Amino acid sequence: MGRVAEVFKWDSIAGDETVGLYIHTYSANEFVAFSINVALHSNQPSGAYSSIAAQMTDGPTNQSGNGFARTIWVQNQTIGPQPYISVGFMRFRQRTEE
C-alpha cells in the first residue's frame, strides 16, 4: 500500500516566480507521483484576486546513485495586487511487486 506525505513547503512564492525542487532517490521498482496544494500567502482579501493558481511541471528523470531522481518546477500564476502564495508539495510513493 502506498503512502502520501507533504515532503516540502514553500512559504512564499512571488507572482510569476518559478521555483524548483530536486527529488531523489527512488528505486526502479517504485511508483512515485506528485501534486501541489496552493494557498494564498497575503493579508489581501480573497475577493481581490482573479485567480489563485500555480503550475507544476515535471522535469527530466535522471539516474542518481543507486536509484532515480527528478526535478519538479512550480510557477506561481496568481493574478492580483499581492500575488504571493504558499505551496505544499505532496508525494505518493508505492513499491511495485518484484
Select the more confidently predicted residue: 91 or 81: 91
CA–CA distance, 52 with 1 (Å, rounded to integer): 33
Is residue 50 within 8 Å of 40, Cβ to Cβ? Answer: no
pLDDT above 70 (res 86): yes
pLDDT classification of 96: cutoffs 50, 70, 90: confident
pLDDT digits (tens, 9 = 90+) for 13-66: 999 999 999 998 889 899 999 999 999 886 666 666 667 899 999 999 999 888
- Check: pTM over 0.75? Answer yes or no: yes
Provide the grid cell at 5: 506525505
